Amino acid sequence: MTVGTHGESATSRPRSAAARDGDGPAADPAADEPVVVGRIGRPHGIRGEVTIDVRTDVPERRFAPGTHLCGEPPTATPLMVAVARWHAGRLLVRFEGVGDRDAAEALRGRVLTIAAGQAGQAADDGDEDAGNLWWDRDLVGLRVVTVDDADVGTVVDVVHTPAGELLAVEHVGGREVLVPFVREIVPTVEVPVGRIVVDPPPGLFDLE
């Protein structure tokens, strides 16, 4: 498993989901590599609920009751979602067989994954966003240029934060710049030709 090397995006705004979950057509459903959809955080309450650090843009699908999630270490017993709900902006999940705070605490830090084939199902299922979904690994290495075709640098990583995704771009000047992966700033992603076009706000890049 490669954490942080997958992604998905939507038509309305590019967003990469991966180390997280990638539902895009660029996914390789035949690959054996698991896709990270979340990480278990601290317990919530005394009845076995845990907080989830969400690593997917489709948490309602990935954490639906009855869903089986694998994880790290690979030998760990898969967990089945019993209940999932949102509380104060956080996803809370209770897994089958986890009935108290001590059992929930024992799960803290576990990475939750699905098979790569599951991650590719959105395109097959007619997901309206599926035409603009990418794996993080498809974005890493792409050349970055401005709308005026000025060379900016190369994507070296996709950074996932609670507020959204950032493209880590190694600037031609040698420094690394974090670019918000939103449609207003990243209007065009052309994976087949190896290029991303950006329309940066003043001050984001020093192109002089």
- 80/145 same-domain check: no
**Domain membership of residue 140 as a residue range:** 136-198
Does residue 102 share a domain with residue 53? Answer: yes
CB atoms < 10 A from the CB of 169, how many?
Answer: 25
- Segments of the chain with pLDDT less than 50: 1-30, 122-131
The reply to whether 14 falls in a domain is no
Query: pLDDT, tens digit, for every residue of 29-76?
Result: 445 567 788 889 999 999 999 999 888 778 888 999 999 999 877 777
Number of domains in the chain: 2
Residue 121 lies in a domain: no
Is there a domain that residue 101 lies in?
A: yes
Q: What is the pLDDT of residue 6?
A: 35
Cis peptide before 73 (omega within 30 of 0): yes
Does one domain contain both 46 and 104?
Answer: yes
Q: How far is CA 163 from CA 7, 17, 191, in A?
A: 15, 12, 24
Residue 21, domain member (yes or no): no
**pTM for this model (two decimals):** 0.55
* Bridge-based pairing state of the strands 143-146 and 195-198: parallel
Q: What CATH number corresponds to the domain at position 46?
A: 2.40.30.60
Q: What is the pLDDT of residue 182?
A: 85
Question: Is 12 inside any structural domain?
Answer: no
Within-domain flag for 90: yes
Query: Cβ(170)–Cβ(153) under 8 Å?
Result: yes
26 part of a folded domain: no
DSSP H or E run through 134: none
